[in-house]
Chain A
């Protein structure tokens, strides 16, 4: 017999909001899109900032884990342009400095040292400064930002956007030490800090040790090369450039080369397109700029003449399924391709030559430090780690989430509380009924296709390195795209005891999500559904309590629900209701849904602090778990 679903557990409705569930930082996507639709750009920006800290940066550069899982993909094949809508909120916002949390005059006397001024450390600082901590960040380069600064070219991320969002955090009172590489962690540990956070990234580009590799100055490591371009040390490149590798760094390298004067840029891939590591949209943008991508070319040697690389030789390969599901290459021939410059973009690694191996930080067999996935603490108490440094290259949004979690741990550590007692998430669930057939949100299904981002003219964009290619959405595009959002947080909430089994909801549901049937084993029940399950168990199911008149159950497959609210409109007894589920996420010093002291009314409204909501929490509920010094 299927058990009734516990909708009071925040996870159930959270899973229904695919984008928010897919986002490592659990950004409240539907709510921020509605705020944009309403012209409330500042509010939308602030709601974003609460979870992802860098809306302007991420609105241009995020790897968008939210978009492939978007419900629209399962309905019309194209996700809502979640990421680029975030940029709209950032572009059109007013000054938000007044809405940032106040920093207490009186500090709490705790000092935190962060290594590396990238997204993870900056998030730790963002979360801890309002609680009264003193945060020092050591950065080896002359500028903060980590890979956000050194590796993302300005034609994708304008400097103004980057510095503005980094400055919000620095201006909270970070003690930033630039040009300060840490050569010895042991030495730093000697200093007077209460906790340490390592957010040093994965700064070492992978090598390609083939014959000729060390015989020419024109062979570069991708991330180092991008960094040199960023700092102005490199401002031109050869005419014919080969980029080895086909990840996102390769895409940035080939497009940068185009802007530094290269006229013939080829990206060399060992495998075929389905195996490319680059995000589809970054591939598209490179192809639009006439970068050539060659598949099944496996590099075998560099050809050097007079100390200059003049060509590369490749094995031409085809791939066969091999053992353990891995592909096996078969060489079909070889090919020499002429070039003036080679850029290696085949991945990056962490590098910890500066962490002594005898100071209590354990490393695994791949020479990676062992970090607890929940607490983010290393095996040395008081030393925390996050971002790319912890488990290798990910993207910014993961670094941010690591920062949030590490901050929660550091706060608990400094207060002497156990790190494994993580503050639970909470949920507000509030009816959206405004009238007989009226809901608080735009509930009709809009058949519009995904809006295409407009790009600066091809000729124009190559004139300078810092011309942002994407123009952003204009108002009309924005208004079209926001309507594509299905408001998946507007939950179809069911109260079994009110149901009279009239079938109205079953008959009206456009996607055949609902079934009333006798309870039984999962196999029995799912065989009797109005429409077959297509994405189970990825997508959640809802099973009601026994219905009063016949003892049958209401069953819902959440997979394709478009949240149109027709089930609730056609329900005579309000057994179905559309309720907004507002996931309440805890942060350092803040229980789920709690605000920093002195936060604005605007932010209060954004935090779902609406009276009358049904507050449900996992386990102990949304009880504050820390005193909170803010």
Chain B
């Protein structure tokens, strides 16, 4: 009678991807978040993106920290590897996972509290280490799980549910990560899957660190008049700065797009991002210009969205300076090595220690 599971019965027209899986096969368990939570829409977009990219769930590692966002990996890809870590420590866990197995597709889901308050240090370092992961911040401007206090992303002048006004300056994850050298920076909105799904796909295919900050309204504590993270406010001030289509390696870019208004950016794996309707004075590959442009839009009271910045792939893929390149790690996942190689025994340890004596 109450809180039934989502029935398995599905539409007979549901299509299968090349792995023989339907979109429903990429779902997780039922969400226990509040009805109407933006996070659930992001979950649906993640499901759609993984299904479209035909990524096998068991090749994915999904990680999270604490907060409403921390719960969400349970709701997608039930057959993926998962780790729900300590508050703000998702970046370290993901770094570890990817260090051990570079073949994993890593997706970390965090929140504005988890990333910009307690996990701020971790966030900064995972960006500069350029760990090959998709980092999603489900940004609602409040601590939802502790009843709606302002988070570090709350705008000056925005009000809490009971009317208190926030006077502390916000941390903007997009500007911050641009500063820290992130090669893929996007902002989107949980209520706009048309925009969000292609960005997630591109983010998953980007080699290195990819950030998507998704405005994700908290229906329970931050969806009122006076909030700058509500459904209404976001829609009223929405500025879809650039339209980005993700084009897999084998496909042609649709020719209907006006050439003068389009830019195509090559990615490491041969796929491309086709930017459309880009403003004339905007270059999504020019970090400094993007930074100041977004600052300008913010001053004008707009929520600038889209795949805002992407670092073009170097001509020679071996030049890529992601985490593995910087650290000089081995090419093969550690799990592929025989146990004796990974743990050569006490004698080898002694030998090693002697070198430091």
Spell out A's residues near B (CB within 8 Å). Answer: 74-76, 434-439, 442-445, 447, 500-504, 506-508, 510-512, 531-532, 534, 549-550, 560, 562, 564, 566, 569-573
Contact = CB atoms under 8 A, between A and B. Distances in A.
Given A439-B1, A531-B14, A571 B9 contact: no
Given A445-B7, A511-B11, A562-B7, A571 B2 contact: no
Contacts of A436: 2
Given A439-B1, A572-B219, A502 B11 contact: no
Contact of B7 (A439, A444, A500, A503): A444
Given A500-B36, A500-B231, A443 B4 contact: yes
5 contacts: A444-B4, A511-B9, A534-B12, A534-B13, A571-B35
B253 to A, nearest CB: 22
A486 to B, nearest CB: 10
Contacts of B10: 510-512
Interface of B: 1-14, 31, 34-38, 40-41, 43-44, 190-191, 193, 217, 219-220, 223, 231-232, 235
B191 A503 contact: yes
Contact of A560 (B5, B11, B217, B220): B11
A615 B36 CA distance: 30
A445 B4 CA distance: 9
Contacts of A510: 6-10
A500 B223 contact: yes
A437 B4 CA distance: 9
Contacts of A550: 235
Contact of B2 (A435, A500, A508, A534): A435
B41 A566 contact: no
A80 B11 CA distance: 19
Given A445-B7, A500-B232, 16 more contacts: A438-B2, A439-B1, A502-B217, A504-B40, A508-B40, A511-B10, A512-B10, A531-B11, A531-B14, A549-B232, A562-B7, A569-B3, A571-B35, A572-B34, A572-B219, A572-B220
A507 B41 contact: yes
Query: What are the 3 tightest A-B residue pairs by CB atom distance, in nearest-first order?
Result: A572-B36, A445-B7, A507-B44
Given A503-B190, A562-B9, A572-B34, A549 B4 contact: no
A316 B5 CA distance: 57
A572 B8 CA distance: 23
Contacts of B7: 444-445, 510, 562, 564
Contacts of A573: 36
Nearest to A502: B36
Contacts of A442: 1
A507 to B, nearest CB: 4
A508 B9 contact: no
A76 B1 contact: no
A444 B5 CA distance: 8
A573 B223 CA distance: 11
A502 B6 contact: no
A466 B34 CA distance: 61
A532 B13 contact: yes
A304 B86 CA distance: 95
A82 B193 CA distance: 41
Contacts of B193: 503
Contacts of A549: 231-232, 235
Contact of B3 (A437, A447, A504): A437
Contact of B41 (A75, A502, A512, A569): A502
B11 A504 contact: no
Nearest to A507: B44
Contacts of A572: 34-37, 219-220
B13 A531 contact: yes
A439 B2 CA distance: 7
Nearest to B23: A512
B285 to A, nearest CB: 31
Nearest to A74: B12
Contacts of A571: 35-36
B165 to A, nearest CB: 23
Nearest to B223: A500
Contacts of A506: 44
Nearest to A570: B35
A445 B9 contact: yes
B9 A443 contact: no
Most buried by A among B4, B31, B34, B190: B4
Contacts of B190: 502-503
A512 B1 contact: no
Contact of A566 (B6, B34, B44, B220): B6
B9 A507 contact: no
Residue among B5, B14, B193, B231 having the largest count of chain A Cβ atoms under 10 Å: B231
B15 to A, nearest CB: 10
B43 A512 contact: no
With a 10 A CB-CB cut-off, give which of B12, B190, B193 has the most chain A CB atoms.
B12
A442 B13 CA distance: 27
Given A500-B232, A502-B231, A510-B10, A569 B35 contact: yes
A297 to B, nearest CB: 38
Contacts of A511: 9-11
B32 to A, nearest CB: 11
Given A447-B9, A534-B12, A502 B4 contact: no
Residue of A510, A511, A569 contacting most chain B CB atoms (<10 Å): A510
A37 to B, nearest CB: 13
